[in-house]
Amino acid sequence: MSRPSRPLRTIVLRLAGAAFVLWAVATLTFFAIHLVPGDPAQAILGGPGSQASQEALDRVRSEYGLDQPLVAQYGAMLGRLVTGDLGTSYSLKTSVADVVGAQIAGTLLLAVLALALAWVIAVGLALWSSAPGRVARAVSGGIELTAAALPHFWLATVLIAVFATGLGWLPPVSNGAASGLVLPVVTLAIPLAGFLAQLMREHLLVALEQPFATSALARGETAVGVRLRHALRHAAIPAVHLSGWAIGYLISGAVVVETIFARPGLGRTLLRATELRDVPMVMGVVLVVALVYVVITVVTDVVAALVDPRLRTAGTAR
Amino acid sequence: MSELELRAQAGAAGSGPKPALRRRRVPRAATLLALAFVAFLAVAVVAPWLLETADPNAIAPREAFEPPSPAHWFGTDESGRDVYSRVVEGTSASLAIGVAATAIGLALGLALGALAALGGRVLDFAIGRVNEVLFAFPGILLALLVIVLWGPGPVTATVAVGLSTAPGYARIIRGELLSIRDSGYVEAARVLGHGGGRILVRHVLPNALVPVAALATLGIGQAVVWASSLSYLGLGAQPPAPEWGAMLSAGRTYITTAWWLTVFPGLMIVFTTLATTVLGRALTARDGGRR
Amino acid sequence: MPAAPRRLAAPAIAAVALLALAGCSAGDDPAASPEAGGTLVYATGDAEPSCLDPHVGGNYPQALIAGQYLESLVSLDESREVIPWLATAWTTSDDGLTWDFTLRDDVVFTDGTPFDATAVKANVEHLQDPETQSSTGYLAVGKVASVEVVSPTLARFHLTAPDSALLESLAQPWTAMESPAGIERGMDENCQSPVGTGPFVVDEWVPQDHVSLVRNDDYHGGPADRGRDGAAYLDGIEWRFIPDSASRYAALQAGEVDVIDNAQPDTLAQAEQSGALVEIDAPRPGASNRLELNAGQAPFDDVRVREAFIRAVEVDDGIDSLFFGTAERSHSVLSSVEPTAYSDASLFETSLEEANALLDEAGWTARDADGVRTKDGARLTVRFPVSTNQSIPAEQSLFEQVQATAKEAGFDVQIELLDLSSWYGALFAHEYELVSAPYTKIGPDVLRILYHSDSITPAPSGYFANLAQLSNPELDALLTEAASTSDAQQRAALYEQAQQLILGGFYALPLYDQQNHFLHSTKLSGMRALPTVSTPWFADASLSD
């Protein structure tokens, strides 16, 4: 804290950075999708295989501004975005903002619950694997790597076969009730928990070798106590920083998980919009996901700064 | 999406004491097992016919869905093909995806990370934002975009996976480079009057690359898993190529009646990840002694 | 209905095979009349429509659900005879250019609008209006010049040319009758909740989740073969979208849903063994599932190469094992439910020797290191784009077997799995030699759409239906004549000749009917698939506990 203006400057830079990220994501997506073969007017007129007449195509092109030069379309899109207008979906003919607004809650709920569960599992695994003894470390290490290597679609199928079809404990597809959330959340959480546990354990082991851990032990605290009260806190910081990334990862996973468990959500919306070349819809979902990522990153940076005093003096640019 | 991304993100906060990884010993038995498995993979890539017990693409519809037996070690698939031979045959395609995707991610990550760490504050900030943009794209969307641009197939799947891992590598490489730049021995070299270029080549890069290479080994298995998700969405390897991810997703339909269709290719992916990770750790453990 | 993706689009039948319907446990009284009440949960694997009005676009997912709230002028019975529905009778003039439809006078749309000749006129005009963006219905009424309101109960269709397929076209859900007042609300609103006369009413649509349908209490009538009058027993239907086939089946097993469509072969076999589920096998009408050989370019522009391919490819064993006996090998380009389907198994006998001899004769004599035949340096490559939305896993596996057996004769079949947009892209660019594109439509007129040379000319979108690129003036003449021949016997004879030309020219390799299997729990009874395009009918279904 050499200068008092520093926090303010940091915040301004951070926000400017966030705005840049959103702009860049919108721009990249816009031009990438326009490189994709396929006529957006077709997408509007019933998707591939439609037999729309030339008049219908021409009318749609002018209605949606598709006859304008690409740069003009890009400008128009940016102009709309600034006012918060995500445009009109080609395939659903409704406001993208409405669709995204209706779908985002389900996906975020899924992602947040999965993140929480992954944390619980990861902390458990990390504590176990940091216990003395080679066996615990080897076994838990194997579990972590295996968990991290499970594709969502495979895990989902096995969980449905065992817990829904076999044991009959849980519904195999979303049913609006809380019980329908269990399997999708577990499916998403397990591979993530594998990642998080690997990360936490590394940091936990380091923390345990730090002087504060040694002195706590010397003060007569139990090994478990030291882990829970001191070391875990240090091990958790890097994982907190991952929250933004983890949510993005979970939303990626949601594409598969929402399809298998028949849950409404952004993942399914995105997959369908991509298949149908529904440009405004793809753009809307991507921007909203990017926004979520940016917000979470900023918040976790702040939280981590509060948890970890060292950060306040560390450089801000990364 | 691999462990290194997590490390990268975590390291980005400047908080992670990273040397931990380097100090841990890997049991000798584990290393030997991992080496043996990698040797098996190597043979499967170079001379698959030595290991195969049948023609991996020969169909026999009347012998479909046979469980594992002495004749078919891993059973037969829905077209009566020998699953074991297909797993062996698929090694090269699967590893190609894993290795190539990791290489793409690493190359991009190296460029971005080095520029960020050594190019001054403005460049560092700019690249930080570029990285954030890449992170902000859900990986699967990036993959979907690449696929609709260039059509589905192993090459596009590889590029997609490579691109989505690049920011992770960039962050960790930047972190490694920064910590080395500020470390005692670089300081010492500078005091001794060595030039910047020489310091970079002799001290900074070797020290940064070894741990990065170790982490990259983790990426290989992850890339295969990723590619299998693309296969599930119908956008992965093209038949009849027996790629592990594609086998996993094709066998999923029959998971309750013919478990062997998914379990064996799945185990290959897990074992590959385990083996490369163990070797990666062994590598970093050795490297730790150098500092 | 153009290329009917399994999940995204279209076909009708009669073979309603009710297996093991005697599922009542000891406590039930099977003799009691069906209990009223209860909400049925239906889980579809077809794509979620982007518009619930089947006039717009017009694909199979729309037909599936529209059958619950819309009714057509006519229907078909199990023997595929046209029977009354909203129209009680019809006559045609001698020149075939004028059709008079007598309408029921006691039907009211669920918004209170009366169903009359004015409504029929409004519906045809809606289909023909470019603003509606109709594809399937638009083609179906393509020969209708105008509809004249003679009296409230008499609608007169004036045609531009005789159309022997008119009744079949009007029996399809894509031309079903909607309330003119509903249509006037504009496309956005009408897409959300089209208003019909059917046994159920659209109540609410929660995107990506479900559509709620509630009973139309005033419903009476129905297709003439219904056998009862009055409103449905069920209180309503929850129409769910569960795209993943394994999850859909698991949901049925767990009792979360009562009926599923697009049941997969392996689960059908399981269900049959367990006896706890009931299957309804209702193949779609129109074309069969077949591989089209692109005769418009090399190498399949040579009939010897086409014949060699068909001689080389073995599919019988694969169909048996991959479909677990649930699909029967077809040797016709028409669905087996079509009475005019012509089948000739002798054309499809396989022989590797014959295939090799034919290819040698055609000049594909050399083989390269991979065993692929070559001619003047060109490889015998067959590009085969496969839509992953349209081909179920079992079918994709079958295609791999096609690839493997064709290889023995020296064909290099390159399967490309593509999403629907890319798949159409490959077809439009003529980057294919082989393709499977199901097509659903009532009646043999589908042959005109698929094999008349006019269908090679692409629509502005690039779409063309004649994927075999079959251009034969003799065939064109037969198909055109059949389309305007009203005498049933004469018509059938013309279609038989046409099919002989198609099969004999080795333009297509028929595989099986378009599969359409429903599975439902034993709690449900009284469900059937309408013979028109095999969509489910729930007005007489009931749930027991």
Q: For strand C87-92 and strand C98-103, is the pairing parallel, antiparallel, or unpaired?
A: antiparallel
Question: Which residue in C47, C317, C350, C414 sits closest to A262, CA to CA?
Answer: C47
Q: What is the pLDDT of residues C22-52, one digit of tens each?
A: 333 333 444 345 667 899 999 999 888 889 9
Distance from CA of C246 to the nearest CA of B (A): 7
Please say if the pLDDT value at position A14 is more than 80: no
Please say if the pLDDT value at position A271 is more than 60: yes
Residues of B in contact with C329 (CB under 8 A): none
Residues of B in contact with A36 (CB under 8 A): 145, 148-149
- Pairwise CA distance, residues B173 & B204, whole Å: 11
A139 touches chain B (CB under 8 A): no
**Dmax (CA) of chain A:** 84
Contact B256 A161 (CB under 8 A): yes
Residue C354 near residue C506, CB atoms below 8 Å = no
Question: How many CB atoms are located within 10 Å of the residue C217 CB?
Answer: 11
For range A313-317, the mean pLDDT: 41
- Pairwise CA distance, residues B176 & A200, whole Å: 19
Residue with tokens 């390291």: B11
Question: How many CB atoms are located within 10 Å of the residue C226 CB?
Answer: 18
Categorize the per-residue pLDDT at A4 as very low, low, confident or very high, splitting at 50, 70 and 90. Answer: very low
Distance from CA of A243 to the nearest CA of B (A): 10
Residues of C in contact with A168 (CB under 8 A): 254
- Site from A252, A269, A294 to mutate, B interface, most B CB atoms within 10 angstroms: A252
Contact B141 A203 (CB under 8 A): no
Q: Which two tokens stand for residue C453?
A: 């040379």
Q: What is the pLDDT of residues C165-218, one digit of tens each?
A: 999 999 999 999 999 999 999 988 999 999 999 999 999 998 888 999 999 999
Please say if the pLDDT value at position B154 is more than 90: no
Within 189-208 of C, beta carbons closer than 8 Å to A belong to 191, 206-208
- Site from B115, B118, B129 to mutate, A interface, most A CB atoms within 10 angstroms: B129
Q: What is the pLDDT of residues B225-249, one digit of tens each?
A: 777 777 777 666 676 778 887 888 8
- Site from B24, B135, B149 to mutate, A interface, most A CB atoms within 10 angstroms: B135
For range C352-372, the mean pLDDT: 94
Please say if the pLDDT value at position B151 is more than 80: no
Mean pLDDT of chain B: 77
Strand partners, C236: C39, C214
Question: Which residue in A310, A293, A201 sits closest to A244, CA to CA?
Answer: A293
- Site from C248, C270, C321 to mutate, B interface, most B CB atoms within 10 angstroms: C321
- Pairwise CA distance, residues A124 & A127, whole Å: 5
Distance from CA of A167 to the nearest CA of C (A): 10
Question: Which residue in C523, C63, C3 sits closest to C276, CA to CA?
Answer: C523
Cis status, amide bond into C299, omega within 30 of 0: yes
Question: Which residue in A152, A168, A162 sits closest to A114, CA to CA?
Answer: A152
Among A13-22, A120-129, B140-149, name the one with the lowest average pLDDT. Answer: B140-149
Contact A91 C3 (CB under 8 A): no
Among A107-116, A192-201, C133-142, C427-436, name the one with the lowest average pLDDT. Answer: A192-201
Residues of B in contact with A196 (CB under 8 A): 6
Angle CA A24–A30–A32, to nearest 5: 100
Within 149-188 of A, beta carbons closer than 8 Å to B belong to 149-154, 157-158, 161, 165
All residues at 6 or more sequence positions from C430 whose CB lies less than 8 Å from its CB, including other chains? C294, C296, C297
Categorize the per-residue pLDDT at A277 as very low, low, confident or very high, splitting at 50, 70 and 90. Answer: confident
- A4 or A297, which is more confident? A297
Output the DSSP codes for B111-153: HHHHHHHHS-HHHHHHHHHHHHHHHHS-HHHHHHHHHHHH-SS
Q: Which pLDDT does position C505 carry in this prediction?
A: 95
Output the DSSP codes for C434-468: EEE-----SSTTHHHHHHSGGGGSPPTTS--S-TT
Q: What is the pLDDT of residues C396-435, one digit of tens each?
A: 999 999 999 999 999 999 998 887 778 888 888 899 999 9
Residue C237 near residue C68, CB atoms below 8 Å = yes
- Pairwise CA distance, residues B60 & B75, whole Å: 13
Q: Which pLDDT does position C201 carry in this prediction?
A: 97
- pTM of the prediction? 0.85
Q: Which chains border B (3 or more CB–CB pairs < 8 Å)?
A: A, C
Mean pLDDT of chain A: 79
Within 96-125 of B, beta carbons closer than 8 Å to C belong to none
Query: Least CA distance to B18: which residue of chain A?
Result: A203
- C12 or C248, which is more confident? C248
Q: What is the pLDDT of residues A43-89, one digit of tens each?
A: 677 665 666 667 777 777 787 777 888 888 888 888 888 888 888 88
Residue C231 near residue C218, CB atoms below 8 Å = yes
Within 261-280 of C, beta carbons closer than 8 Å to B belong to 264, 266, 270
Among A100-114, B5-19, B97-111, name the one with the lowest average pLDDT. Answer: B5-19
Contact C417 B239 (CB under 8 A): yes
User: What is chain C's Cα-based Rg?
Assistant: 24
